[in-house]
Structure 1
Amino acid sequence: MLSKTKFLLPVLAGALLLQSCNDKDEFYTTADGLTYKIYEKDESGEYENKGKVSPDDTTGAKIGQVVTMQMSYKNAEDSLLFDSREQNQPIMIPVMEPTFKGSLENALMMMSPGDSGVFKVNADSLFAKTFGQPLPPFIKPGSQLTFFIKAEKIQSKEAAIADQQKMFEQQMKEAQARAEKQIKIDDDKIQQYIKAEGLSNMQKTESGVYYTVKEPGKGPQANAGDQVSVHYKLSFLDGKQVESSYDNPMSGGQPFTFTLGQGQVIKGWDEAIQKLKEGSKATLLVPSPLAYGEQDRGPDMPANSILRFDVELVKVNKQ
C-alpha cells in the first residue's frame, strides 16, 4: 500500500494545486540541485513563501515517516500529468532514503504538516533511479517535472496505515449507500423493460437480479463451488449487443468457464447462475450494482449500466 510506486499514477486532468500561491515568489535551489518554493500559513491563515530552508532544518518529514498529501505534477511543456484531487482522496507516500541528489524524497523532508510546495525534479534521474523504469515518451530527456505538493499529515507508518484503513471503511460505506440507492433506480427501469418487452415468468433473486428460464435443463443444479461453463450474449436494455461468447475470437467460440460463487464474475452471475440446472437457457437482467456498478469501463460499458445476459449453462462440474 505504502510504496514509492505510488508516484507512478495514471495520467489525469484537473486544476493545479496551490492556486493561491503567487508564481512571482522566488525559487531557491539546494546544494543538491533541488529547485523549490515552500509556503506556510501566516497568523492570518494566508500562505507566504517560507524562504530559503536551512540545510540544518530538522522540522520536515523524516525517513520512515509517511506524508499524506495532495499532489499534482506537470512536464516541461506545462501539461498536467496527474492530480490526486481527481481521485477525491489524498495519497500516502513513505519517506525513504534519497535515491539521487535533488530527489523527491529530499523535497518531502523539507516540508512540515500544512506546508505547500513547488519542486522541480530531474526527470531522467527520477525514472532511472527512483522508479527503475525508462523515461515515458511524453517526457523529454534532460527535462524537469514540476511537483505541486500540499502536506496534510506527517506521521508514523503505523498511524498512516490506521488512517488508511479508516478511509477505506468510510469509502466502502459511502459506496454501499450509493449502490442501495442505484439498485432502486435500476429496479424501476428493469420492471419497465420487462413490461415493454413482454418478458414472462420473470423471477427475482434475493439481491435483485431478474431472471427467466426459457428452456429448463435436465442436468445437475449449479451450486457455489462448482465449476461451470456458460455461453452468453451480453447486451444493454436498448438492444445494443456488447459481446458474445459464441463468436469470441479470444476463446475460439468456447463457453466461459469459472468457479461459481467465488467472486470470479460479477455478483449478478454468481447469484443467478445458481438458479439454473445444466442445460438451461435463461435471460438475466442485472442491475448495475450487481454488475460493474460505478466503474466507467469506456464507451462500451458506461457507469451504472444495466445488463442483459442471454445465457446457456452448458456444463456443471460438481466439486
Structure 2
Amino acid sequence: MKISCFVALTLVMAGCGNADYQKTKSGLLYKIHRKGQNKKVLPGQFVKLHYRAMIGDSVLIDTYQRIPAYGQYDTSTKNVHDFVDFLGEMNIGDSVVFIRNVDTMQKRGYLMYNESFKQGGTIKGYITVLGAFRTQEALMKDQEQESAKEKVREIAAMEQFLKEKNVTGYVKTPGGVFIKLHSQGAGVKVDSGMLVSVNYTGALKNGTKFDSNVDSAFGHPSAFEFVAKGNGVIPGWDEAIVYLNKGAKATLYIPAMLAYGPNAQGEKLPAFSDLVFDIEVMDVRPNMPKPAGPAADPHGH
C-alpha cells in the first residue's frame, strides 16, 4: 500500500490559519515540528507513523492511541497535494500539521463536494513519524508487535466494560473473547470442521445494532451457516463457537482485534469497533463435502 492511501481518510475542517506554514507547489500548507534525530525518511523505505484527522472539534480518525499506520514512501508520486509531498523533509521522530484544500482535491478527482467536503473548505491532519524500515519483513514484524499490544489493551478495556455493566459468570477464552452463556443447550457440541447454523444479533457496546437475522429490519431472516474454525467468520466467532452446543444461547463480547480491527465496515462499524453478539445455535452437523461433478474433458470435447 502506498503511503498516499492514508490521506483518503482525512475530513474537512474549515477556517484553519496559515501563519508560519510552508507551501508545496500544489498549495498544501504544512508546518514541521522538529523532534527527530536527524534521520531522514528515505525513498523506498517503509514508514511507521501516527495519524489524526478532524472535523471541527470532532476526531474522525486517530491512530495515536491505536495501531500506527504503515506504508511505503513512494517518491514517484509528487505534487499530489498530500503529505507525501513533504515527507522527505521529515526526520524520524518529527511531527507535522498540514492543511489540504478541498477545492484542489475536488478538481483533481479525489473527492466530491458534500455536507462534509464543502466548497472553500480545508482538511487538517496531524502526523508523527515513528520509524522507518528497509524491508517489508521488518515492517510486518513491527506491525505484529503493535497488533499484539492493541489486543492486550482491548481485552483489558472489555473486562472493565463488563465490570461496569455488572456482567458476571462469563468465560474468557484464551484468545480474549468473553462468553456469557445463558443456556448451554442439550444437543451436539460444536467442534472444528462442523457445519453450524446460528441466529444472531450484532451490536456495538453502546447497544446500536448493526446486523441481525432475527430482526426483520435487516432483511435476511435465514439462519447463518459457517464451518467452525474454518476461518470463514471473524476470529472472535471461531474462538467462541466451540464452547457451545446445539440449542445454546449466549452473548459474545468480542474485542475489535478479534473482529475487524482497524478496518471500518461502512458507516455502521467504525474502525476498532468492539462487538457484542447475541447468538443461538440452531443446528450442528457434520460438514459433508458436496459430490464432485463430472470430470472436465481436458481436450474440450
Q: What TM bracket, shorter-length normalisation? A: 0.5 to 0.7
- Correspondences of 1:28-43 after superposition (within 5 Å): 28-29=22-23, 33=27, 35-40=29-34
Match of 2:230 in 1: 262
Query: Does the CA-based 8 Å contact 1:61-1:95 persist in structure 2?
Result: no
Q: How big is the shift at 1:106?
A: 2.5
**2:92 maps to which residue?**
113
State the partner residue of 2:195. Answer: 227
**Superposed counterparts of 1:1-319, under 5 Å:** 1-9=1-9, 26-29=20-23, 33=27, 35-40=29-34, 61-72=41-52, 84-93=62-71, 94-100=73-79, 104-126=83-105, 129=108, 133-137=110-114, 138-141=116-119, 144-153=122-131, 155-158=132-135, 162-163=138-139, 165-173=141-149, 175-176=151-152, 179=155, 189-191=167-169, 209=179, 211=181, 212-214=183-185, 216-217=186-187, 222-232=190-200, 245-248=213-216, 250=218, 252-265=220-233, 269-270=237-238, 274=242, 280-286=246-252, 288=254, 308-313=278-283, 317-319=287-289
Instruction: Please tell me whether the aligned partners of residues 49 and 69 of structure 2 are also in contact (alpha carbons under 8 angstroms).
Output: yes
Shift of 1:140: 3.5
Please state whether the residue corresponding to 2:148 is helix, strand or coil: helix
- Structure 1 residue 226: deviation in Å? 3.0
Deviations 1:56-81 (A, max 9, x none): xxx95443234444444568xx6666
Report the alpha carbon displacement of residue 270 of structure 1 after superposing the two structures with TM.
3.9
The two structures have a TM-score, normalised by structure 2, of 0.59
Q: Would the aligned equivalents of 2:51 and 2:125 in 1 still touch at CA under 8 Å?
A: yes
How many Å separate the matches in 1 of 2:202 and 2:98?
49
Question: Please, what is the CA RMSD of the aligned residues?
Answer: 5.4
Give the whole-Å Cα distance in 2 for the aligned partners of 1:235 and 1:92: 29
When residues 251 and 70 of structure 1 are mapped into structure 2, their CA distance, relative to the original with a 3 A threshold, is: closer
Number of equivalences: 272
Question: Which structure would you say has the larger Rg?
Answer: 1
CA deviation after TM superposition for structure 1 residue 118, in Å: 4.2
Rounded Cα–Cα distance in structure 2 between residues aligned with 1:40 and 1:12: 26
- Which TM-score applies when normalising by structure 1? 0.57
Q: Is the 8 A contact 1:190 1:285 kept in 2?
A: no
The verdict on how the C-alpha distance between 1:305 and 1:163 changes in structure 2, with shifts beyond 3 A counting, is closer
CA distance in 1 between counterparts of 2:172 and 2:35 reads: 56
Q: Which amino acid aligns with 1:65?
A: Q
User: Identity, % of aligned pairs?
Assistant: 20
- TM-superposed deviation, 1:313: 1.4
Confirm or deny: 8 A CA contact 1:12 1:80 kept in the other structure.
no
User: Structure 2: which 5+ residue stretches go unaligned?
Assistant: 290-301
Distance 2:279 2:105 in 1: 47
- Report the secondary structure of 2:279's partner residue: strand
SS of the aligned residue for 2:9 comes to coil
Displacement of 1:111: 2.5
**Partners of 1:102 and 1:267 in 2: how far apart?**
38
Cα deviation for residue 116 of structure 1 reads: 4.0
